[in-house]
Amino acid sequence: MTDARPSRFSRWLLPGLGVKAVVIGGGYATGRELAEFFLSRGPWGGLFAILFATLLFSIFCSLTFVL
């Protein structure tokens, strides 16, 4: 490991590209994911699934900005 400063790309662009890849690559661009993934277990199951997905996205976003 070296103490070299990270490049502008890895410091400013790479975290945003990582978050964008997860959101779009996960199929969250159509709006159909609510019915397909979250509401198939009823309203309470859908609510818990949405909260779980929010938690996972938050963790991934935090990790991309830390790394």
* Comparison of pLDDT for 40 and 4, the residue scoring more: 40
The mean pLDDT value for 3-31 works out to 72
The mean pLDDT value for 40-47 works out to 86
Q: pLDDT averaged over the chain? A: 77
Q: What's residue 55's pLDDT?
A: 92
Query: Token pair of 59, please?
Result: 């963790």
Read off the pLDDT of residues 50-67 as tens digits, 9 standing for 90 and up: 899 889 888 887 887 776
Distances (CA, A) of 28 to 1, 2, 5, 67: 37, 38, 34, 24
Q: What's residue 1's pLDDT?
A: 54
Question: Is the Cβ–Cβ distance between 64 and 19 less than 8 Å?
Answer: yes
Domain ranges of the chain: 42-67
pTM of the model: 0.53
